[in-house]
Structure 1
Amino acid sequence: MYPSRLFRTLEAAAVSLFFVQAARVLFSVLFGVIYDTIFSATVAFSTLGFIMLCLIAAFLTSLVTPRRRPRFWLFATAVVAALARVFLTLNQPPVRLWSSLLVVAAAGGYFAALLRWRPRIFPTALLLAFAADQFLRTAGDTYDVSLRAGWLPVQVVLGLLIGWVAWLAFLHNQAEPREEEGIGVMGGLAVGALLFLETSLLGLPNALARWSRVDYTVVAPLLMGVTLLPHMPGLHLPRGGGARLGQLGGLPYLLIALLGLVIGAGGGGASSVLGLLVTQFLVLMALPDTIAPRRSDRTGIALAVGFLLFLVLNFALAFAFTYPYTIPAFRGMGLYVFVVAAAIACLSILRPVHLAQVPKLESSWHWLSAALVVLVTVFLAWPPSLDLQETGPVCVATYNMHYGYNTVWQLSLEEQARTIEESGADIVTLQEVDAGRITSYGVDNALWLARRLGMQEVYGPALEGLSGIALLTRFPIAETDTQLLVSHLEQTAIVHARVMVGIRPLDAYGVWLGLEPQERERQLNHALSIIGDATPAVLGGDFNATPDSPTYARIQAAGFDDPFVVGGFDPSLTSPAIGPAERIDFVWARGLEVQDARVLGSLASDHRLVVTELILP
């Protein structure tokens, strides 16, 4: 690879990575803005409307990128994206909102100039960005290390380095002619769909692990290897005339990609993860086909249409999670959104074959480089040692973790982990737990907390396999189980772990109950039927019901004790965290002696943590 092309590829890969990170940050911050506008009324609708207009404008900058002087615009937009990316590291929602919009806007202009001047670099840059994003997230146990406070000096240096590389690319590309290829509207749609798939499912090893129910430690390096495969020289999808599968054109690959998604959604273990990895491979292999001989310059329109599709798909998926409060018809529609996206991402392989000369790594070291990256990923994904407890007393806590946010929508996972440490809890039931949504930075909340605390985790998916409840424990686990509860509105679940306290079993259950009284009654009756007469047992959760409610009385009637009442402790209020007004978070105990019960004052979530100390009689 010539130095001029190397500099441009590095620059393009960095801008692509910044774009992927900024898009994730943007949707995460926007989630908080929309929530505060609709549910808490702390943000005016006019403010939300202005932000949405800025959002759309940021994704449409390709329409106004000048056709002349592409080298200058590549340099200028790369520098702006690199500088704005520095501010994403600051965990302040307003700063992240406007800096992510600036990164997206600059990247849109950069992509338009790149696709007019050096279109063959675009697929390679995007593929490298996807791999780099996976690497950074794996290094942080699904929480992108480059978004942590300690990363700021590193990001400043990287920003300066990318600026220098952009300057070198500007100087070394003066004599190179413009390439006679580009991207059309179909290619733009494919790029938008691919970006959605990578940031919402296929590029997230934790999301694939949750969908397939295969251990994250196994999935992360496998996904990295599959993501790197399209970089390998000479690797392409065979197409053309004939009767064999590889010679039927692009349609079989599209159908296989869709089938892989459907199989992956089934949670069938090895077959599911294989299906998802095959889909990942095929949609990435289709990316170079978005570059085709140029008939006319539709680059700006193509990118704008693709980015609008990216927005539409993200909002459609959001409706699949928030259907009770938005569009009820979207209940259970998440898989269909992904299938539509995969079909669009593979559209380019249906066209007549055009093998663009996409630059790849030199054959003398490409396999070694890929193997090294996968090996490092194995190391990064390897779980830390567990800090197990063998005997009692048993400290049980419940914590509505608000998807990892505090009340003002700062990502506060580290503060939440310290709150759990301060409580001394050996068992923690968690509610509002995301496992890979773009609206919560793609983090797997339960996995991250478990690794941070040296605990084991049991995840109970309720919505689209990527949002639900969880249970953490330090005691050895004998068996686990999760079941969906009868839900007419927001789907919820119950999570169960039978743990061994010494030689004695203890059944621990966690739930989140709905917002409407009739819904809570249905869900609680179902949950209690699952629990049965298990004793000794603890039941923790956000019940969305106060001590004077039928829900509270029904749990008491099932033989569970409120440790605050039994032990004579002050029943402090739990929600909201700032200025709590009601007590709706409980740890219930049956067949156990109460030693202590308290509510911590931490503001790391929008609820307060409740912890009880219990003894097996």
Structure 2
Amino acid sequence: MMKPMLRGDLLSKLDIGLPEIFPAVGLPALALVFGLQSIRSLVAGLTWTLGDTYSLGAPILGAVALLIFGASFLAGPLRRRLSYRHLILFSLGSLILFRLFLQFWHGLPLLTVVWAGLAVIALVIFLPIYLDEVRREGNAAMPLFAGGFLGGIVLDTLLYGGAGTYDLVWQQTPLPIIVTVINAGLLVGLVFKYLENHNDSASFNFKGKAGAWLAIGPFIFLQLIILQNIPALTTLTGWGTNGAFLWIIVSQAFGIMAAYYFHSLQEDTIYFITLFSAGILLTFSLFPYLSGWPGAILLFLGQIAASQLFFAIVTGMASGSRRSGALSLPISNGIGMTLLMVFILGYYASYQIALPYNNSILLALAAVLVAGGAMTSLRHMGPRLRIGHRQWSQSLIAVIAAVILPVALLFTTPAVSAGTDTGFPLRIATYNLHNGFSAEGTLNLEALALDIEESGADVVALQEISRGWLVSGRVDMLEWLSQRLNMPYYFGPSSGPFWGNAILSRYPIASAVNIPLPSEGLPLERSFIAAILEINGRNFQVIAVHLHHVADDSDIRVEQVSALLSFYGNTARTVIMGDFNAEPNDPEIKLMRAAGLRDVLLSIEPPPAYTFRSDDPFQRIDYIWVSPDLTWSEVSLTTGTASDHHGVIATVNDPSP
């Protein structure tokens, strides 16, 4: 009688060369790049095109989102009616086509949302179909798929970080177009190469221990919201975009190599490492917004832990571990993708309506599901890995190649010039940037930069500054504008660490503080920035503010204005700028006048200087106020619809010696 072999004694040999590795790794990697770009475009489009421009309510937006991600449940029925070859061509062909539409489309923003939605549908159908076929190809195929998927996240981060966090989807300049077309060409080539060497099978078997795959949605959620989020790390550490970019790329690369190494160890060690990784990811999810080095180190460890857990989920579904009676792969994938959308909606809904939870609890819940998926999958763990020296050498070369771009940007990107004191007159402006989106619902930072540039402003108060919010394209608006305009900044978060107000200044900022405004019970909290500039060797105070936005809540704004005026205290040489969300005859504005502050826009009225809405102006809610000792001239508004507000611009002088 033959002695049974222990699972821990089984080995999956990965000592294969690049010609075999590249299609197996490259196909899921490049598909995921297009998929993640499309998801970010879709989420932003749902928020700003459908939600803001077309005024669709949260229930309708939620239904649309769930319909798109719920299309993943169609993978099973489609596989029963179409051959594997036809379904792969259909899903990947659709992903490539609609991602190219996103890049080249210049028309109605509504269709941008349609193209993004169709691209996402193609991705969520492709994943379970492809993964189930990979399970048939032997135990070595699953680790390659895991590496390809994680490599896709690295490649997506490289493209995203290399573009200064301003996703290629939103840019129609030559370089983003060329990069996208190359990506599409490579993916097309890999598809046909893969199908050429693949024997199509009429049979399929989605059954098996695939329940762990429902963690795919929570895993992607963690990546999109925090682990892959360069602006978030930039804001928390103050490192700058390129420093944060390099740190995240290194953590991702280490995560992949660590996952392969851990799964080459003995079975008991793999269990221990997976359990330890679960603890690390849960710890990170409970403290995702730590600032400085502690936050950076915890993110580094969290990324490595997440990679290990994902690797465990995938390798635990190897063909040798199939068993009946579990969730099928398409059902698990459908649940996972639905969870992804529910988590995203739940995370950002807390900024719109009062909910009985802190949105960071969703990060912890996602981490629990990823950890649970890994531990469940390990119960049916496939063979350990045996990786040759050649593969480790190739991996090291890949890591070096991955860090070249962020290192190059770190050392070649010119630093923003420090402000200089050029004296009076001082050109100032206030501009609500609408989270970077035009009145039509398109992310266009260049148009905003041109408005600021053409204003000639030396100091700009900015409102609705998003630094890594997924619903706003996950771009770091402030870092991008600071680099583009060569203007240093001070950022004042108001609702969470990644959204608030800012001041751009060509003059030295001697000091600045961010002070919360009364916001008890409000989903979207408010604050104001008080900065001291040095002009002619004397202090000049600039206050940038954004008040509560609900039209009927004047009482809240009165309370906020009272707090603002208490801080102001009739200080000479002061300008107060911002979006007050109130019209000239409202009580909160009367308080500003009663304090002796002067409204510069009165210089060009009548007719009323309406600042909102830029595509159909009907009210004045943006203001520049100056203290009684200052004079002003050359008052104007920005034109166009780069934001849903018009900016207010004025020249200020100090007549005192």
Q: When the two structures are superposed, what TM-score results if normalisation uses the length of structure 2?
A: 0.84
Look up the SS of the partner of 1:607 in the other structure: coil
Which residue matches 1:73?
87
Which residue matches 2:535?
501
| Cα distance in 2 between the residues matched to 1:166 and 1:546 | 58
* Matched residue type, 2:278: L
Deviation at 1:308, TM superposition (A): 0.9
The answer as to whether partners of 2:501 and 2:546 remain within 8 angstroms in 1 is yes
Quote the sequence identity (%): 23
The answer as to whether partners of 1:192 and 1:306 remain within 8 angstroms in 2 is yes
Match of 2:500 among 448, 453, 468: 468
Write out aligned runs for 1:261-300 (5 A): 261-267=285-291, 269-291=292-314, 292=316, 293-296=321-324, 298-300=328-330
Which residue matches 1:379?
408
Structure 2 residue 281 is matched with structure 1 residue 260: no
Structure 2 residue 453 is matched with structure 1 residue 421: yes
Deviations 1:170-203 (A, max 9, x none): 1123399999999845422221101111112211
Match of 2:440 among 396, 408, 421: 408
Deviation at 1:264, TM superposition (A): 3.6
Which residue matches 1:443?
475
* Matched residue type, 2:615: I
Look up the SS of the partner of 1:553 in the other structure: helix
Which residue matches 1:60?
73
* Matched residue type, 1:204: N
| Cα distance in 2 between the residues matched to 1:164 and 1:319 | 41
| Cα distance in 2 between the residues matched to 1:195 and 1:598 | 45
RMSD of the TM alignment (CA)? 3.1
Write out aligned runs for 1:155-554 (5 A): 155-174=180-199, 184-232=209-257, 234-236=260-262, 248=272, 250-267=274-291, 269-291=292-314, 292=316, 293-296=321-324, 298-323=328-353, 327-330=354-357, 333-351=358-376, 352=378, 354=381, 362-380=391-409, 383-387=413-417, 388-392=419-423, 393-488=425-520, 489=522, 490-514=524-548, 515=550, 516-554=553-591
Deviation at 1:312, TM superposition (A): 1.0
Relative to structure 1, is the Cα distance of residues 536 and 239 closer, same or farther in structure 2, using a 3 angstrom cutoff? farther
The answer as to whether partners of 2:256 and 2:304 remain within 8 angstroms in 1 is no
Flag the structure with larger Rg.
2
The answer as to whether partners of 2:51 and 2:58 remain within 8 angstroms in 1 is no
Deviation at 1:224, TM superposition (A): 0.7
Structure 1 unaligned residues grouped into runs of 5+: none
Report the count of equivalent residues: 605
Deviation at 1:311, TM superposition (A): 1.1
Which residue matches 1:125?
148
| Cα distance in 1 between the residues matched to 2:475 and 2:204 | 39
Q: Which has the higher contact order (CA 8 A, sep 6+)?
A: 2
Which residue matches 1:35?
51
Deviations 1:352-378 (A, max 9, x none): 473667899822232233133223213
The answer as to whether partners of 1:212 and 1:264 remain within 8 angstroms in 2 is no
Deviation at 1:165, TM superposition (A): 1.9
Deviation at 1:562, TM superposition (A): 1.6
Deviation at 1:261, TM superposition (A): 3.2
| Cα distance in 2 between the residues matched to 1:45 and 1:475 | 42
Deviation at 1:509, TM superposition (A): 1.6
Deviates more, 1:599-608 or 1:230-239: 230-239
The answer as to whether partners of 2:85 and 2:200 remain within 8 angstroms in 1 is no
Relative to structure 1, is the Cα distance of residues 315 and 239 closer, same or farther in structure 2, using a 3 angstrom cutoff? farther
* Matched residue type, 1:329: P
Relative to structure 1, is the Cα distance of residues 414 and 256 closer, same or farther in structure 2, using a 3 angstrom cutoff? same
* Matched residue type, 2:84: P
Relative to structure 1, is the Cα distance of residues 147 and 64 closer, same or farther in structure 2, using a 3 angstrom cutoff? farther
The answer as to whether partners of 1:79 and 1:162 remain within 8 angstroms in 2 is no
* Matched residue type, 2:125: G
| Cα distance in 1 between the residues matched to 2:219 and 2:540 | 46
| Cα distance in 1 between the residues matched to 2:78 and 2:149 | 20
The answer as to whether partners of 1:574 and 1:585 remain within 8 angstroms in 2 is yes
Which residue matches 2:610?
573
| Cα distance in 2 between the residues matched to 1:474 and 1:179 | 64
Deviation at 1:521, TM superposition (A): 1.4
Structure 2 residue 74 is matched with structure 1 residue 87: no
| Cα distance in 2 between the residues matched to 1:143 and 1:304 | 30
Which residue matches 1:17?
33
Deviates more, 1:193-202 or 1:377-386: 377-386
Deviates more, 1:287-296 or 1:66-75: 66-75
* Matched residue type, 2:356: A
Relative to structure 1, is the Cα distance of residues 389 and 376 closer, same or farther in structure 2, using a 3 angstrom cutoff? same
Deviations 1:464-510 (A, max 9, x none): 32222222112122222212211132311112322222422222221
Which residue matches 1:143?
166
Relative to structure 1, is the Cα distance of residues 512 and 442 closer, same or farther in structure 2, using a 3 angstrom cutoff? same
| Cα distance in 2 between the residues matched to 1:28 and 1:469 | 20
